[in-house]
Chain A
Amino acid sequence: METPVYFRNNEERKLYGVLHIPETTRNNYGFIFCSPTFGEKTKTYRIFVNFARFLEKHGYCVLRFDYFGEGDSDGNFENADIESRVSDIISAIKFFTNRMQPIKVCLIGTRLGASLSILAANKNTHINALILWAPIMNLRAYFFDFLRGNLSNQLLVNRKIIFNREQLIEKIHGGQKINVDGWTISKQMWEQGETANINIAITLLKQNCLIANFIDYQSKSYGLVNTENLHQNINTFTYNPEFSFNDWKNYQPFPVNLFGKTHEWIQKNLN
């Protein structure tokens, strides 16, 4: 059974979510999806809907939700940042465990959502496992790359670039909000991205964890997940993406390889 809901975050703001509850037997693990952001969220939204329905069919409870300032939740995008999103994940865990108790929680994070899941797991002991699809290990590099959208729009409108990336970053540090493809990057978002050290945070994880290194995405400057200093409970696999985060060219709402590999790990490790 699938039920859209509203619940409150730590600051009593309304967050939109969808609960998936199996009609028959329930496994003792439940999943909370931590979505990517910017246009990656809209391009891949249906993939997460389908994976949640897949897990529900296999007896797992799932909560998908929108961070404050995203999707159908309250607030504006520019008023949210890294810390507020991590806080929202913790609020989602509280809501989910209160509704579904007793239940063990596994976060499934994708792209920035995966990075946020790692940070949340460092703060919160109620996270029993993590699944990380294409985690972004270097947030500054990710945001730097994302600024390309602003440059493209400058070319379209002015037929030349007036402010290059370094100048845009200066403006952000000076408190100016920069628009990229309709999303506003605030000083807080940028600076928290600069200081967040996902490479260190991931070494602190002791939970069961599956990491999918996406070819073509991990090889960029966002960083490959370095498995050297990771706990033995952390497994990784290399995945050749069946879909794209950035455009509709490879529209694949049901990537069977990704779902299959992930489900296989869940069955072996989460019971």
Chain B
Amino acid sequence: MEEIIIFSNKNNEKLVGILSSPINQSRLKQQGVILLNTGLNYRIAWHRLNVKIARELSSVGYFVLRFDTHGIGDSEGQLPETSVVNLHVAIETGLFTQDCSAAIDFFIHKTNIKDILLFGVCGGALTAMFTAVHDKRVKGIIHLAGPVTLSSKKDSTLEHPWQAENLFKMYLAKFFNLKAWIKFFSGKTEYKNLFSSCIKVCLTKVEHIKNSRIKLKSEIIEKKTIIDELLNINTQFIKAFTVFKKTAREIIFIFPERDPATWEFKKVFLNQYLKRDAKFTKHYEFYEILNGNHILSDDESQSELLKSVMNWLERKFS
């Protein structure tokens, strides 16, 4: 069953959402789930992903809330008037944290369920972390494709190492293709893209070799490393995660394989911050959806997402 709900944030702005209630109340779960919107998309998320997730989770006994943060969707308020990149950075550094806290207050008041799981998609995953750091009512986080770097204008261009690597691999796959060589010698290849991607891939490999010799001296970041500067790492997120870790709460990181955010996550976060902390290993999981893209557009990826989430919930919280 779905119900339209309206609640206020700290600035008295009305936030609009949909609460999905379990059809079968006899299978009611002890945790509730709050879905956090991706970046500038409103509460339904990419191709209604949040609607599908909410309906699926409520069918197995969860109360699920999806809502619009201020300035987005049907909610009141305005976002700062600035460039899209700056808006994304604002979200990635906590713009919607207070709205999330207000959503938790409302959710508990409405359902009487006190244990909250935050399910954050892309930018929403960062909102989840920033909220959880200060709010012990959050018992776990589902972090879906949340970037660990700050947005920049370079992201969807060949300046980004993942984009270059991807394009390079595509050209490499055509190495033994006669038609591709005919195109190359007849002037029909996109030479700029081809050579840019080759150069970028080589440069990235050289930088990686240099960087792999840098050792981090402590968990808390004191200064940016060369990797951080290369990829504009989100140090606020890292700091928040460092605090979150100490509370021994559960988190699952789910990333689609074919996504620059995944590439960044593995390069700068998984190996450097997750795998190095032996005490935390039992509280986190990393799950990669093979062949999935950033928005998990295909049916198989979505199916795998739901399966992995349900599985994790069952193991950690039942």
| Residues of chain A at the chain B interface (Cβ within 8 Å) | 2, 4-6, 16, 18, 39, 42, 45-46, 49, 70-72, 77, 149, 153, 155-157, 159-160, 179-183, 248-251, 253
User: What per-residue 1/0 map shows which CB atoms of B31-44 lie under 8 Å from chain A?
Assistant: 00000000111111
CB distance from A147 to the nearest CB of B (A): 13
Segment at the interface with A among B193-201, B225-233, B276-284, B290-298: B290-298
Contact A159 B46 (CB under 8 A): no
Cross-chain contact A249 with B297 (CB below 8 angstroms): no
Q: What is the CB-to-nearest-CB distance from B151 to chain A, in angstroms, rounded to a whole number? A: 10
> Nearest 6 A-B pairs (CB), nearest first?
A182-B47, A182-B297, A159-B173, A4-B4, A251-B84, A159-B170
Q: Determine which of A49, A70, A179, A250 lies in contact with B297 in the assembled complex, contact meaning CB atoms within 8 Å.
A: A179
CB distance A18 to B74 under 8 Å?
Answer: yes
**Binary flags per residue of B192-227, CB closer than 8 Å to A gives 1, else 0:** 000000000000000000000000000000000000
- Which A residue sits closest to B299, measured CB to CB? A179
Alpha-carbon separation in the docked complex, A250 to B48 (Å): 22
Q: Does B137 contact A (CB under 8 A)?
A: no
Kindly list chain A residues whose C-beta atoms are within 8 Å of the C-beta of B40.
248, 251
**Chain B residues near A70 (CB, 8 Å)?**
48
Query: Nearest A residue to B18 by beta-carbon distance?
Result: A72
Find chain A residues with CB under 8 A from B302 CB. 182
Does the CB pair B41–A156 fall under 8 Å?
Answer: no
Q: What is the bound-complex CA distance between A155 and B163, given in angstroms? A: 13
Known: A157-B258, A182-B49, A182-B296. A45 touches B42 (CB 8 A): yes
- B residues 240-298 near A (Cβ < 8 Å) are 258, 291, 293, 295-298
Whether, in the assembled complex, B89 has its beta carbon less than 8 Å from a beta carbon of chain A, the answer is no
Inter-subunit contact B47/A39 (CB<8 Å): yes
Known: A153-B297, A179-B299, A181-B297. A6 touches B48 (CB 8 A): no
Cβ of A180: which chain B residues have Cβ within 8 Å of it? 297
Residues in chain A near residue B134, CB distance under 8 A? none
CA distance A149 to B295 in the complex (A): 12
**B84 touching A156 by the CB < 8 A rule?**
no
**A46 pairs with B42, CB closer than 8 A:** yes
A202 to B115 Cα, complex, angstroms = 55
Interface centre among B39, B173, B258, B297 (most CB of A within 10 A): B297
16 A-B pairs within 8 Å (CB atoms) are namely A2-B74, A42-B42, A46-B72, A72-B43, A77-B47, A149-B297, A153-B297, A157-B291, A160-B170, A179-B298, A180-B297, A181-B47, A181-B297, A183-B47, A248-B39, A248-B40
Q: Which residues of B contact A182 (CB under 8 A)?
A: 46-49, 295-298, 302
Check B6 for interface membership: any CB of A closer than 8 A. Answer: yes
Instruction: Give the distance in Å from the alpha carbon of A156 to the alpha carbon of B170 in the complex.
Output: 9
Which residue numbers of B lie inside 8 Å of A, CB to CB? 2, 4, 6, 16, 18, 39-49, 51, 71-74, 79, 84, 87, 166, 169-170, 173-174, 258, 291, 293, 295-299, 302
Q: How far is the CA of A149 from the CA of B87 in the complex (A)?
A: 26
Cβ-defined partner of B74 (8 Å) among A6, A49, A248: A49
Check if A156 sits within 8 Å of B51, measured CB to CB: no
In the bound complex, do residue B48 and residue A156 qualify as a contact, i.e. CB atoms below 8 Å apart?
A: no
List A contacts of B39 (CB < 8 A).
Answer: 248
Alpha-carbon gap, A70 to B47, bound state (A): 9
Cα separation A250 to B296 with both chains bound (whole Å): 24
Contact B2 A72 (CB under 8 A): yes
Report chain B residues within 8 Å CB of A253.
79
Interface centre among A2, A42, A253 (most CB of B within 10 A): A42
CB-CB under 8 A from B6, the residues of chain A are 4
Bound form: Cα–Cα A60–B16 in Å? 22
CB of B168, distance to nearest CB on chain A (Å): 11
A160 adjacent to B84 (CB under 8 Å): no
Cα separation A183 to B296 with both chains bound (whole Å): 11
B295 in complex: contacting residue of A2, A160, A181, CB < 8 Å = A181
Q: Which of A70, A72, A157 has the most CB of B within 10 A?
A: A72
Q: Check A156/B74 contact, CB under 8 A, given A39-B47, A182-B49, A251-B87.
A: no
**A6 in contact with B4 (CB, 8 Å):** yes
Q: Is the CB of B46 within 8 A of A39?
A: yes
Q: How far is the CA of A17 from the CA of B301 in the complex (A)?
A: 30
Q: Which residues of B contact A179 (CB under 8 A)?
A: 297-299
Report the minimal beta-carbon distance from B162 to chain A, rounded to whole angstroms: 11
| A72–B44 CB distance below 8 A | yes
B73 touches A4 (CB 8 A): no
Q: Nearest chain A CB to B167's CB is how many angstroms away?
A: 10
Q: A181-B46, A181-B47, A182-B302 are in contact. List 15 more A-B contacts (CB 8 A).
A: A42-B45, A46-B72, A46-B73, A70-B48, A72-B43, A77-B48, A156-B166, A157-B258, A157-B293, A159-B169, A159-B173, A179-B298, A182-B47, A182-B295, A253-B79
Q: Once bound together, how far apart are the Cα atoms of A46 and B42, in whole Å?
A: 8
